[in-house]
Structure 1
Amino acid sequence: MIACLVIHGYTGGPYEVDPLAEFLKENTDWHIEVPTLPGHGEELHLENASYKNWIKAAENELKKLQRYYEEVYVIGFSMGGMIAAYLAAKYKIDKLVLLATSGKYLNFKQIGFDIAEVIGDGIKGTLGENKLYTHYKNKLGAVPLKANIEFMKLVRFTRRYLDKVESPVLIAQGHQDGMVPYKSAYYLEKEIHSKKKEVVFFDRSRHLICLGDDKDTLNGMVYHFLVEETE
């Protein structure tokens, strides 16, 4: 039997990866596990945030799955991608998928474009239709500085393990990602030494790659990567 652990991103929750998780549930007989990291979810409680607790929560889920399933795949989105890479380095997992993974911090150029678009929609009176704005508006003021520092600590900590990853890996990145520079995908490809590596870019996708315009293509690509035989 096969299990798949899907790890969401910083200040997010399972909803960020839900279309992909549901697609895998509908098209396989695998056990799909999508945990909520401490302090995350629909309502954020990050006052006592700790990057070690985020990693530990995902690690505990992986250990449980490895206890009961013959094969375990791990998918990570954004910060969850760095956690997934760490788990792949520390434990033997069968396949790894990294989605818009935050190996580098911020794409300031694209953030500028996104802010300009939000302002433009505000002027036109169509702000409610701007997906980026509606997603992040509820997080404004809900993320303490300490949590942001813990996020940066996590990225720095997990980076050290990238060159120890040996699992076959698929790296997917959106060209319009306003949070993670698209060059992060090249950085991950360079640092990870797996024999089997695939890097794919999506022209229409922003950071929330599982919720964007390319989500159907992404779902199919991840599925085919996971089901194909590894040489």
Structure 2
Amino acid sequence: MLRKMYKKLKAVLLADSKLLCDRKERNLINKPFEFRGTNGRAILLIHGWTSTPYEVRKLGKYLNENGFTVSAPLLRGHGTVPKDLEKVKWTDWIKDITIAYNKLKKDYSQVYVIGTSLGANLAVILAKNKPSVSGLVLMAMPYKIRIERTMVLLAKLMSLFEKYNKKFYPPTFGVSTTMTRVISYQTYPISSAFEAFIPVKISRRILPKITQPCLVIQSSSDHVVARKNLEQIYASLGSKIKEKKHIKRAYHTFISDSKNGRVFKDILDFINRN
């Protein structure tokens, strides 16, 4: 027990300081944010399952510095304790992002949507429901989970004996931990995992109906999604304007990794082109 506690504490204390939040911002880890821009266009950022808006905060600041109004809501059941996810349905998350989108749309004619991990699946569903979405950026979006059928079966078996499961994290390419690992829940209700899987299946089915310009980005070392994930999303998209990009040696939610800030410019350039 003591050894496990020591290892966890060591991982946080020795983490790359660039990945960890600034001391002045520690009170913002579990908070939504909105930055007002100057160019008359807006962007909705959607964080991943079990995480918080803080994982996309650096990207939000960058886009805001380049003129955009940026909004990132906190999805229901997140940013508090894992238990709060137990009674949350996937439709609650859709309601959260729809409210945030409608709020932006009242003031801006052009609203782009960017999602990471499950946030990207939610972004696809929002784009289907709201044809007025100006464009999409899908980062680390699960099209199909690695060994999907086996994982679902195991989850069902586990749910018979346990209510919660602990997260697994792979090697992190030279740093002892990642921003997402620091700010996310380290355990989760198995019931919530089933809820999270529903948007994955729905977004997979409706990709051919998506017509907005779309940029798809994925790490070639992603431990969550299948290897052909990016190509499957790209091929399935109904968008006439679509681009794809692979990130090398990066974690699943690479957007919060300080080494992958170069992706920010790729996203900005894509949005400005469309």
TM-score (norm 2): 0.71
What is the aligned residue count? 213
Aligned Cα RMSD in Å?
2.5
Shift of 1:138: 6.5
Question: Is it true that 1:39 corresponds to 2:90 in the alignment?
Answer: no
Could you say which residue in structure 2 is the equivalent of 1:173?
A: 218
Q: Which moved more, 1:18-27 or 1:132-141?
A: 132-141
How far apart are the structure 2 equivalents of 1:214 and 1:177? 15
Q: 1:101 aligns with which of 124, 141, 154?
A: 141
Equivalent residue runs for 1:2-17 within 5 Å: 2-17=41-56
SS of corresponding position for 1:153: helix
Q: Aligned residues: percent identity?
A: 30
How far apart, in 2, do the equivalents of 1:213 and 1:177 lie? 17
For the Cα contact (< 8 Å) 2:77–2:88, is it kept in 1? Answer: yes
Return 5+ residue gaps in structure 1 as ranges: 119-125
SS in 2 for 1:6: strand
Change (3 A) 1:16 1:134: closer
Decide whether aligned partners of structure 1 residues 134 and 76 sit closer, same or farther in structure 2, where only a CA change above 3 A counts: closer
Is 2:86 the counterpart of 1:54? no
Cα drift, residue 140 of structure 1: 3.3
State the shift of 1:104 in Å: 1.5
CA distance in 1: counterparts of 2:69 and 2:135, whole angstroms:
15
Q: Secondary structure at the match of 2:222?
A: coil
Residue aligning to 2:194: 149
Matched, 1:67 2:113: no
* Runs of 4+ displaced beyond 3 Å: none
The residue aligned with 2:64 is 25
Correspondence 1:189 to 2:227: no
Tell which deviates more after alignment, 129-138 or 57-66: 129-138
Output one character per residue of 1:104-162: Cα deviation in whole Å (capped at 9) or x when no partner.
Answer: 12379xxxx965x48xxxxxxx9xx5215981696333x11110010111211232221
Letter in 2 for 1:218: V
